[in-house]
Structure 1
Amino acid sequence: MAENEALPTPEQLQDLLLESPGFTEFLLELTAVSASLLGGDAPMLCAITVEQETGPATVASSSAEARSLDERQYAYDDGPCLTALRHQRTVHIPDLQADDGWAWYAQAVSDEGIQTILAVPIPTGNGSRSALNCYSTKVHAFAPETVAAVEEHAASLSRILRLAMRVHAPEPYPQHLRSALRSRAVVDSAVSLIMVHNRCGREAAVELLQVASRSSNRRMHEIAQDILRNASDIPVVSGGGDP
């Protein structure tokens, strides 16, 4: 996985919130960035669950698959992510198929090929509970240092998520908006990764993406997808980024 220093700082998370078009877009970018930066050899799926009086909901996910993995737990009112947020403790399942304690969930998601799950609580207060949920198709995908990095990342999300939830009610984004938001979120997430990697501003990051698009004669959306799949493809600012 990426080194810890590659993870967004609290200041960068605040910038991401301030520069995102809206709360939903911010959360979509956040999960995509988390999945890309925390992922290793095997792709990682990430989602954020928030539970309030009305029940749990996936407020954002890095993919439709991640959302589905969360929602199957809601149907049973039980699961790794719900355990993490309700008991405020990390739930790490290194080999889902071999874990008797979660045999029912392994059966429920057998068609998804998920082998490892890591759910980490995000302290939010304000009458709600949250968790960052990570799924991998690789057995024993999360080494101890990866678990520690995800816990550190979740802790850094706490303040910014609490701040965002004070201003916006965390609701699942409507079905008819998901496709459009997802397409835009792919580009926005790639821009955010470029900002984090180069420690530059959004304008410089967008310009890098545009240059990469023009030089390769490919759409920005395609370049952005490549960046999210492989963080090593992130363009680099010549001479360093602006503060």
Structure 2
Amino acid sequence: MSSGEDDRQGADDDVVRRVDEVTWALDDLCRTLEREERLPEILDRLCRQIVHAIPEADMASVSMLRDGVPETVAATGDHAIEIDKAQYVANEGPCLEAATAGATVRVVVAEVRDRWPAFVEVAGRAAVSSYLSAPLFLDSEYHGSLNLYGSAPHGFGKLDAALLALYTTAAEAALHGARRYLLAREQTEHLRTALVTRAVIDQAKGVIMAVRRIPAEQAFELLVSKSQEENVKVREIAERFIRGIVEGD
């Protein structure tokens, strides 16, 4: 085999290896979702996985826009958070462009000084020379970008951009399902709490009505009055009242 063929084979092997790295990261993400972690924990793990999958990345962060207000919800280092904040304050930068335009942004930091001076200044202090950001959309409430930071000039190539886009596209589908599941679980917990609260208050009202021979509305007003007097929730007053009856206090 000639040297040219060796070089092509080596390049092909490198592409396969890097695609495998991203595939493994996605597999790991799916296993993470099975652990039923909260969204911030999942996004934090996502950052760590992508840094491992793309060797040129030294740090990663996730920026999210909520009602147009950007926030870093996960990051692998303080420098990443600082660079994100500089973009938020200036209201411009590659992470915001990726989040709002819905397109992957790949830049060499030294080449965008005139375009994003605040970003370049903070990135320079953190020794970040290359930057890669891809849009990340979960739902109408959670959408933003997954951002990579590299110390090597020209550190991120077209292959890195393609792999990051592949990763975020696949991750979006998995995270969207996890997000819906977490919301459903939270709503179920809220409903369960509401039902328990209603049951305890109804029990207390029933006892007060029987003992004092007063209507339900008046019994509830007594509980509310006691709640305001002690500055605690009506549920706590009702629970204490029922517990006192059961324990014979």
Higher helix share: 2
Deviation at 1:28, TM superposition (A): 1.4
| Residue of structure 2 in register with 1:211 after alignment | none
| Residue of structure 2 in register with 1:165 after alignment | 179
| Residue of structure 1 in register with 2:35 after alignment | 19
Is 1:37 the counterpart of 2:53? The answer is: yes
Name the SS of the counterpart of 1:164 in structure 2: helix
Q: Please give the per-residue CA displacement for 1:83-106, whole angstroms capped at 9, x wherever unaligned.
A: 10101011110x211323223421
Deviation at 1:123, TM superposition (A): 2.9
Name stretches of at least 5 consecutive residues in structure 2 with no aligned partner.
1-13, 184-249
Is 1:133 the counterpart of 2:138? The answer is: no
Q: Cα 1:167–1:57, aligned 2, differ >3 Å: closer, same or farther? A: farther
- In the alignment, the residues of structure 1 paired with residue 121 and residue 165 of structure 2 have an alpha-carbon distance, to the nearest angstrom, of 27
Is 1:82 the counterpart of 2:126? The answer is: no
Matches within 5 A, 1:164-243: 164-168=178-182
TM-score by length of 1: 0.61
- In the alignment, the residues of structure 2 paired with residue 24 and residue 110 of structure 1 have an alpha-carbon distance, to the nearest angstrom, of 28
Contact 1:96-1:103 at 8 Å conserved across structures: no
Q: 1:4 aligns with which of 11, 19, 30?
A: 19
| Residue of structure 1 in register with 2:111 after alignment | 98
| Residue of structure 1 in register with 2:84 after alignment | 70
Name the SS of the counterpart of 1:32 in structure 2: helix
Deviation at 1:54, TM superposition (A): 5.8
Name the SS of the counterpart of 2:51 in structure 1: helix
Paired positions, count: 166
Name stretches of at least 5 consecutive residues in structure 1 with no aligned partner.
170-243
Larger radius of gyration: 2
Is 1:28 the counterpart of 2:41? The answer is: no
| Residue of structure 1 in register with 2:247 after alignment | none
Is 1:155 the counterpart of 2:131? The answer is: no
- In the alignment, the residues of structure 2 paired with residue 12 and residue 105 of structure 1 have an alpha-carbon distance, to the nearest angstrom, of 32
- In the alignment, the residues of structure 2 paired with residue 154 and residue 143 of structure 1 have an alpha-carbon distance, to the nearest angstrom, of 17
TM-score by length of 2: 0.60
- In the alignment, the residues of structure 1 paired with residue 166 and residue 157 of structure 2 have an alpha-carbon distance, to the nearest angstrom, of 14
Deviation at 1:23, TM superposition (A): 2.8
Q: Cα 1:24–1:105, aligned 2, differ >3 Å: closer, same or farther? A: closer
- In the alignment, the residues of structure 2 paired with residue 21 and residue 65 of structure 1 have an alpha-carbon distance, to the nearest angstrom, of 25
Name the SS of the counterpart of 2:139 in structure 1: coil
What do you get for the CA RMSD once the two structures are aligned?
2.2
Q: Tell which has more relative contact order, 1 or 2 (C-alpha 8 A, sep 6+).
A: 1
Deviation at 1:13, TM superposition (A): 2.4
Q: Percent identity?
A: 20
Q: Please give the per-residue CA displacement for 1:142-178, whole angstroms capped at 9, x wherever unaligned.
A: 1211111111111111112222333558xxxxxxxxx
| Residue of structure 1 in register with 2:216 after alignment | none
Deviation at 1:127, TM superposition (A): 4.1
- In the alignment, the residues of structure 2 paired with residue 11 and residue 32 of structure 1 have an alpha-carbon distance, to the nearest angstrom, of 14
